[in-house]
């Protein structure tokens, strides 16, 4: 039995197979590291691309939440790390800054009450989630209002629909008839001037 491989005698002693295993392990780790880095870079790039779709100014044209909000202006700006959402209505302006990486932060949503929330981008939607803790009665418990908004663009990016839901985690359904609330707001993109 003649083996013409120059490594045949070395492989009998396990030298080549140990070296091959070492090279395979190192190669596998490098591949895994490259995949992880690429996925992190591409996910932040995708979040940036998704956010850029929402950049610009919009004006409320329909609101099933509150008719007083018709004419509300909403503008979205983006830096390399944050998304900034500005709401302007008859009561003034509110600026909300949230990190693009989806981490939870303290910020001020429309209405001006302090909140803790985050923003994410999924399947072409902007998902804004936040919780406001308030004490409606001086002698009552703290009530948490959890807001979830799904922002969707349509009509070639000229129409923005915000579907929102407010619920009250921790409150029993029998407490003073408190029920979850849903709303829909429709905004039209304002052309850049």
Is the predicted pLDDT of residue 92 greater than 70, yes or no? yes
Give this prediction's pTM.
0.67
Residue-range domain boundaries for the chain: 8-52, 55-190
Distance between CA atoms of residues 83 and 97, nearest Å: 6
Arch. (CATH architecture) of 55-190: Beta Barrel (2.40)
Distance between CA atoms of residues 20 and 111, nearest Å: 64
* Sheet of 115-122, strands arranged across: 92-99, 82-89, 73-78, 56-63, 181-190, 159-167, 143-154, 125-134, 115-122, 105-107
- What pLDDT, in 10s, does the model give residues 98-151? 998 999 999 999 888 899 999 998 888 899 999 999 887 888 888 888 999 999
């Amino acid at each position: 039995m003649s083996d013409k491989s120059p490594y045949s005698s070395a492989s009998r002693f396990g030298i080549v197979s140990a070296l091959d295993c070492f090279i395979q392990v190192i190669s596998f780790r490098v591949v895994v590291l490259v995949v992880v880095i690429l996925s992190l870079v591409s996910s932040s790039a995708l979040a940036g691309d998704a956010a850029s779709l929402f950049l610009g100014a919009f004006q409320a044209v329909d609101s099933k939440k509150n008719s007083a909000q018709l004419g509300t202006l909403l503008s979205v700006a983006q830096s390399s790390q944050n998304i900034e959402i500005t709401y302007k209505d008859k009561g003034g302006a509110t600026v909300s800054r949230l990190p693009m990486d989806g981490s939870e932060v303290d910020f001020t949503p429309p209405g001006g009450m302090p909140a803790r929330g985050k923003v994410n981008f999924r399947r072409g939607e902007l998902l804004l989630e936040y919780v406001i803790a308030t004490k409606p009665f001086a002698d009552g418990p703290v009530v948490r209002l959890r807001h979830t908004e799904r922002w969707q663009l349509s009509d070639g990016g000229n129409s923005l629909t915000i579907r929102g839901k407010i619920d009250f985690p921790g409150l029993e359904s029998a407490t003073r008839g408190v029920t979850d609330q849903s709303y829909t707001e429709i905004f039209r993109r304002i052309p850049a001037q």
